Amino acid sequence: MSRALSAKVAIVTGASRGIGKGIAIQLAEAGATVYITGRTLLPNGQGTSLTDCAEEIKKRGGRAIPVQCDHEKDDEVKDLFDRVGTEQNGRLDILVNSAYSGAPAYIDHIEEPKSFWDQPLETWDQHNAVAMRGSYICGVYAARMMVPARKGLIVNISSQGGLTYHLHPVYSVGKAAADRIASDCAHELRERNVAFLSLWPGATRTEVFTEWMKNCQLKASNVHETLNERYLFNSESTEFPGKCIVHLATDSDVMRKSGRVFTTNDLADEYGFKDIDGRSPPDFVRRVRDRLSAAGYTRLAAWVPSFVKIPGWMLTAYYHIL
């Protein structure tokens, strides 16, 4: 699929590190001109700046345009889309809403779980000011460019937290909102041939969580060993979601997916690709074998074919009943 996105224009928010960076790298490697956004523009010695991302993309033969942007500030978001419109003659083919400012709060919930009433009120904004509200604002500006062209793809990066409780109500509410934004906006965009969907990556080897796993106080405990095995050694690379979006962007029938939620594993199985290390990451959401293995039933899991999955409707019904 080399250079399959030549002449395409993309925006990836939150691309200075993590999943956003991985997505930007894959889109650029496939030939797209990628505008990458984030709050950290210049190198900070940690490899987590927009400049670092742009340099990595350049090394792979791609083109990235770093734009410093705080997605909590509406005027900066508007300036971003105005700039893309001016420089690309009004063209925008792909928007990926990956910006998320809640990673530190997410780790705090793991290390020191507290009930929502014991959390400071700003916890809401830490998780949702950028990821929830920001994805809607970006979706509005992107649609204004895509609707006249009658083509485009918008992807919200979400998680299975949108389906069931995960760590903290504020986190889960934010992910459910990201999924619903995609679904409802897709309803209004359907006749305009613009696809809007939600993507759930699995456990991912981002810089933040990899570093935390190496340094957290649980290092010597059985809990840490379990987390380390599941989330580091059996996790996705940050570029795996990017491979998903490259395939979506080159799918001539992508509109049939609009308004829906997909796991990265679902798309990898459908389009027939693996992660950048040649592996197929475990699917702890739908693949029965992987769920059994994660629960400790390794012998039973060995007898279950990898293609056996829990139907999406059954998964939704199960969690909603609970």
> 292-305: per-residue pLDDT in tens?
887 778 888 888 88
**Are residues 275 and 230 part of one domain?**
yes
Q: In terms of pLDDT, which residue wins out, 62 or 315?
A: 62
Domain of residue 316: give its range: 286-322
- Which residue type, as a one-letter code, is found at position 159? S
Judge whether residue 223 has pLDDT over 70.
no
**Are residues 291 and 186 part of one domain?**
no
**Are residues 223 and 161 part of one domain?**
yes
**Are residues 316 and 265 part of one domain?**
no
| Structure tokens given for 263 | 């796991």
Name the packing angle between helices 132-149 and 169-189 (round to 10°).
Answer: 10
Residue ranges of alpha helices (H) inside 16-101 are 18-29, 50-59, 74-87
Contacts of 211 (CB under 8 A, 6+ apart): none
| Structure tokens given for 45 | 């010695």
Percentage of the chain lying above the pLDDT 90 cut: 57
- Of 171, 271, 318, 319, catalytic: 171
Residue 202 lies in a domain: yes
**Are residues 322 and 251 part of one domain?**
no
CA angle at 189 for the pair 187 and 191, rounded to the nearest 5°: 95
Which strand (E) or helix (H) includes residue 31? none
**Are residues 68 and 55 part of one domain?**
yes
| Structure tokens given for 316 | 């939704």
Verdict on whether the full-model pTM lies above 0.75: yes
pLDDT (average), residues 93-116: 83
Whole-number Å distance between alpha carbons of 145 and 93: 9
- The DSSP code for 137 is H
User: 3-class DSSP state for residue 287?
Assistant: strand
Contacts of 76 (CB under 8 A, 6+ apart): 69, 70
What is the reported pLDDT for 219?
Answer: 53
Residue 1 lies in a domain: no
What is the reported pLDDT for 271?
Answer: 97
Judge whether residue 221 has pLDDT over 60.
no
**Are residues 104 and 192 part of one domain?**
yes
What is the reported pLDDT for 260?
Answer: 95
**Are residues 291 and 220 part of one domain?**
no
pLDDT (average), residues 156-177: 87
pLDDT (average), residues 271-280: 92
Residue 190 lies in a domain: yes
Residue 235 lies in a domain: yes
Catalytic (active site) residue 171: yes
**Are residues 292 and 275 part of one domain?**
no
Residue 2 lies in a domain: no
Backbone angles phi, psi at 102, to 5 degrees: -95, 5
E strand intervals along the chain: 9-12, 33-38, 63-68, 94-97, 152-157, 194-200, 261-263
**Are residues 165 and 102 part of one domain?**
yes
Q: CA dist 250 to 26, 192, 264, Å?
A: 13, 18, 16
What is the reported pLDDT for 191?
Answer: 97
Q: Mean pLDDT across the chain, nearest whole number?
A: 88
190-199 pLDDT per residue, tens: 999 999 999 9
The answer to whether the CB of 246 falls within 8 A of the CB of 5 is yes
pLDDT (average), residues 73-84: 97
- Structural domains counted in the chain: 2
Whole-number Å distance between alpha carbons of 233 and 62: 29
What is the reported pLDDT for 232?
Answer: 62
